[in-house]
Structure 1
Amino acid sequence: MVQPSDVVMPSGEALLQEERRVRRQGSGLDATALLGCWQLDLVWPKGSSRPAQFSGQILRWLGAQLEISQAGEQLRLRNAVSLGPIELRFEGPGVLEGRRPLLWFHFEQLQIWVAGRCWFSRSLPAPAAQKRPFFALIQRDPSGWLAARGRGGGLACWRLRL
């Protein structure tokens, strides 16, 4: 079994090249390939082939993660960051569409957890359809990483957390 420390993350140039191929041919990714808890590892600003050192380091320090699970036909996403025992969570539904594909989602719930207990929970309004966030999925590597471009144009790469 591949350990997270054994995973070799791709370069920005390699991801950009793969993204061009995926736009033409599709990625072949399905929902089962996305399931799991993904630890954010690298981020690239829009238009750059070099990772953002400062923001990437901060997000790693905060333990930024994306958890994708399946409930019946629907995907569920949880995006979270932690500072010691305090965790900020956003949760909501997602749907995978298209050949590339796009992972559309929106967050219905904002929660603050302290020491494993939910101390605050608030419902969030659904965004207008044309403003829904998405990830344009690029690649899910068998060694344990996932790459996607967000609605804002940035590129992210997550490492599967075992």
Structure 2
Amino acid sequence: MIRILGIDPGSRVTGFGIIDSDGINAVHVAHGTLRLKGKELPPRLGQIFAEISEVIESYRPEVMAVEQVFVSKNPSSALKLGHARGAAICAGVSRGLAVAEYTPRSIKKAVVGTGSAEKEQVQHMVKLILKLAENPQEDAADALAVALSHANTNTTLGRLAAGRTR
């Protein structure tokens, strides 16, 4: 079993999700959202770093998977999202975690089966896959989807590598 921390970064709300995966089955460990306070960006980035650090200390994941920045219509929003990603990644790296990055499209494809899935579809599939009683909040569901995407990708890469060594 490997413990994976998934991160859905945001400058106002950052989602996190933790799963254990043996490469075939995934088990829900925890999920939640960081509601970032204040108007100024630097203190919010500090809060992301501190709170993700606490999550890492509490749950001891072995790897972190983070959603990549997508370029939206608003370059300012994309920059803020990039800063939020950086704060989360720094928290992971400073605690010795390897960090994997996935595009929003590849995450949706891994969890739902199509890269153009809607948020509600991601929430529903995360609920089903992890056998949760109810749909997780959007940002937490996205973070769990990032972790599931890493579990799927890691398993596939492991199988490919094993096939090459035979």
User: Shared fold by TM > 0.5?
Assistant: no
Which TM-score applies when normalising by structure 1?
0.28
Higher relative contact order (CA 8 A, sep 6+): 2
Which TM-score applies when normalising by structure 2?
0.28
Q: Which has the higher helix share?
A: 2
Q: Which has the higher strand share?
A: 1
